[in-house]
Structure 1
């Protein structure tokens, strides 16, 4: 996916013999004729990458994607009748955030927004967990989260905070149009100021056999609920 994304600057690729032809074919399809592909063994890649990385025979040295701002996101969707964004309040696990990006791509969300602090950067772990979604869904580091929520409300977004103790479900809220789903960390949930900035608190209907879902699973269910309307 990174190779096919024209916004992604790629400096160099290392690949084992097993995947080199596939990589070269992808570069040719994307008309990236200036990217070098160096031969590397699996041991070379293991030493090059962080411990435990599942590299599948290749590694890419690339630049971060251009950072979209919340203001630019709002401007891009000024004329959109429907727009869904996910706002994550101190969700720090890159595996979870990567999985959330993947669900965002699957169910048509326009962006995943996180604060500057207490949110994972664009690492290889996050990118792999996102399975290519990092190339298609804007991942916005938005500074002060409460100011960001106010900007979204000013752009006519309804903000729904996910809370297992809310009185109504997401379906019962009947949200439509511009919607921001606000999700907190698995341990503490939404912070007080974040909670107070939401227009609604909503929950997902669940049986009493389990207390809560992993945040990435909850995000997938919430996005599907909005997407199917």
Structure 2
């Protein structure tokens, strides 16, 4: 199988082999003008497995594979298999605990995701939910930054975060979004079935997602800097949930 590193597979036959194998794939890039029968087979496999794909110019692939023979297609391999939201809820039930879930809205920095996976493991949360598009996925950089936590934390990748929130609320979860202008996080009640939502590094939580949160909570800021790194803010939020679960069993 043609590889540049542990994350990229290129060439038509190697990519088809990868897709048929059922191994986790983050995304596939294809040259837009290529409409061969082989590409049709690849598109069918992508749609069957619901894997995100994007049409790009040939120069993009030339740059990514240093002009090696990519045959107009490249796949990003995930560092591990993705879970389903149901798997996360099942883990909470297995532990006989209220669900404790982190939802990330369009986090793009792999170091932030890796650091958050490490914290999720540390606080004993049951899993992480990320969107399939406009978000970093489980790359090698994420795995390395997580210091091994990627092997233990369930990560579900969904098509629609808003619909997922609605489904979780029907299952009894309370959704707390972390953003400026909300109630003080250290006085909020974060016990019970809980989803913590952290927004992207630049834009925060998207409007529709924010509107579907049950509450917005904020971290106190005493200094001149007006915001925190997403992984730092998320980690503080997660530890506050753990603290409250510890002192309010």
TM-score by length of 2: 0.64
1:69 aligns with 2:84: yes
**Paired residue for 2:204?**
189
Superposed CA offset, 1:130-173 (max 9, x none): 1101001111112211111111111111100011111x122222
1:177 to 187, 192, 200: 192
* Unpaired stretches in structure 1, ≥5 consecutive residues: 1-7, 10-49, 51-61
2:167 to 144, 151, 155: 151
1:95 aligns with 2:81: no
Task: Report the Cα distance in structure 1 between the residues aligned to 2:178 and 2:188, rounded to whole angstroms.
Answer: 12
CA contact (8 A) 1:87 1:113 kept: yes
2:195 match: secondary structure: strand
User: Structure 1 residues 68, 211: CA separation in 2 closer, same or farther (over 3 Å shift)?
Assistant: same
* Unpaired stretches in structure 2, ≥5 consecutive residues: 1-22, 25-64, 66-76, 245-249
**Paired residue for 1:47?**
none
**Paired residue for 2:220?**
205
How many residue pairs get matched?
170
Superposed CA offset, 1:164-187 (max 9, x none): 111x12222212121110011121
User: Structure 1 residues 65, 179: CA separation in 2 closer, same or farther (over 3 Å shift)?
Assistant: same
Task: Report the Cα distance in structure 2 between the residues aligned to 1:121 and 1:95, rounded to whole angstroms.
Answer: 11
RMSD: 2.1
1:191 is displaced (CA, Å) by 0.6
1:201 is displaced (CA, Å) by 0.4
CA contact (8 A) 1:74 1:152 kept: no
1:134 to 132, 150, 155: 150
2:181 match: secondary structure: coil
2:237 match: secondary structure: helix
CA contact (8 A) 1:81 1:177 kept: no
1:165 aligns with 2:193: no
Task: List structure 1 segments (4+ residues) > 3 angstroms apart after TM superposition.
Answer: 62-66, 78-81
2:107 match: secondary structure: coil
CA contact (8 A) 2:172 2:193 kept: yes
Deviates more, 1:170-179 or 1:65-74: 65-74
1:127 match: secondary structure: helix
User: Structure 1 residues 209, 147: CA separation in 2 closer, same or farther (over 3 Å shift)?
Assistant: same
**Paired residue for 1:46?**
none
TM-score by length of 1: 0.69
**Paired residue for 1:56?**
none
